[in-house]
Amino acid sequence: MREMRFFMKKLVSLILSIIVVILLLLGVKKYIQVKEISADETASSEKQQLYLFNWGNYIDPDLIKEFEAETNIQVVYETFDSNDAMEAKLKQGGTRYDIVFPSESSITKLVNQNLLQPLDHSKIQGLENISPFLLNSPVDPGNQYTVPYFWGTVGIMVNTKYIDPESITTWNDLWNSEFRNKILLLDGNRETMGLALQSLGYSLNSKDAAQLKEAELKIKALNPNVRAVLNEEIKTMMKLEEAPIGIGYSGDAAAVAETNPAVKYILPQDGSAVWTDNFALSYNAENIEGAYAFINFMLRPENAARNAVFVGYATPNEAAKELLDEEVVSDETFYPSQEVIESLEHYEYLGTEWISNYNDAFLNFKMEL
Residue 2 has pLDDT above 90, yes or no: no
pLDDT computed for residue 334 by the predictor: 84
- Entry pTM: 0.81
User: Of 103, 71, 70, which Cα lies nearest the Cα of 87?
Assistant: 103
Q: Give how far the C-alpha of residue 19 lies from the chain's centroid of Cα atoms, to the nearest Å.
A: 65
With 0-12 CB in 10 A as exposed, 13-18 as middle and 19+ as buried, what is 177?
exposed
Residue 270 has pLDDT above 80, yes or no: yes
Spatial separation of the C-alpha atoms in residues 239 and 225, rounded to whole Å: 20
Q: Which band of pLDDT confidence, cut at 50, 70 and 90, is reported for residue 227?
A: very high
Spatial separation of the C-alpha atoms in residues 52 and 73, rounded to whole Å: 12
**Range with lowest mean pLDDT among 5-19, 24-38, 86-100, 183-197:** 24-38
Distances (CA, A) of 218 to 195, 198, 200, 346: 10, 11, 9, 22
CATH of the domain at 199: 3.40.190.10
Indicate if 251 and 361 belong to the same structural domain: yes
Residue 37 has pLDDT above 50, yes or no: no
pLDDT computed for residue 12 by the predictor: 52
Output phi, psi for 231, to 5 deg: -120, -100
Q: Are strands 245-249 and 49-55 parallel, antiparallel or unpaired?
A: unpaired
Q: Which band of pLDDT confidence, cut at 50, 70 and 90, is reported for residue 289?
A: very high
Indicate if 13 and 110 belong to the same structural domain: no
Indicate if 55 and 144 belong to the same structural domain: yes
Number of domains in the chain: 3
Residue 343 has pLDDT above 60, yes or no: yes
Domain contains 336: no
Indicate if 66 and 77 belong to the same structural domain: yes
CB contact set of 199 (below 8 Å; sequence gap of 6+): 170, 171, 172, 174, 175, 218, 270, 271
Indicate if 84 and 126 belong to the same structural domain: yes
Spatial separation of the C-alpha atoms in residues 345 and 198, rounded to whole Å: 10
Model pLDDT for residues 106-123, shown as the tens digit of each residue: 999 999 999 999 999 999
With 0-12 CB in 10 A as exposed, 13-18 as middle and 19+ as buried, what is 190?
buried
User: Of 268, 254, 262, which Cα lies nearest the Cα of 156?
Assistant: 268
Q: What is the dihedral of CA 295, 301, 303, 306, to 10 degrees?
A: 140
**Range with lowest mean pLDDT among 13-22, 47-56, 228-237:** 13-22
Domain that holds residue 306: 47-151+277-331
Q: Are strands 49-55 and 99-100 parallel, antiparallel or unpaired?
A: parallel
Average pLDDT, integer, range 171-193: 97
Indicate if 54 and 79 belong to the same structural domain: yes
CB contact set of 369 (below 8 Å; sequence gap of 6+): 223, 226, 229
Indicate if 186 and 213 belong to the same structural domain: yes
Residue 178 has pLDDT above 50, yes or no: yes
With 0-12 CB in 10 A as exposed, 13-18 as middle and 19+ as buried, what is 31?
exposed
Q: Which band of pLDDT confidence, cut at 50, 70 and 90, is reported for residue 14?
A: low
Average pLDDT, integer, range 41-67: 84
8 Å CB contact between 346 and 137: yes
pLDDT computed for residue 142 by the predictor: 97
Query: Backbone dihedral region of 290: left (phi > 0), alpha (psi from -120 to 50 degrees) or beta?
Result: alpha
3-state secondary structure of 290: helix
Domain contains 339: no
pLDDT computed for residue 33 by the predictor: 53
Indicate if 146 and 170 belong to the same structural domain: no
Which amino acid is residue 49, in one-letter code? Q
User: Of 190, 184, 156, 171, which Cα lies nearest the Cα of 82?
Assistant: 190
Indicate if 227 and 97 belong to the same structural domain: no
- For the chain, give the mean pLDDT: 90
pLDDT computed for residue 43 by the predictor: 46
8 Å CB contact between 294 and 99: yes
Average pLDDT, integer, range 29-40: 48
pLDDT computed for residue 41 by the predictor: 46
Q: Are strands 263-266 and 146-159 parallel, antiparallel or unpaired?
A: antiparallel
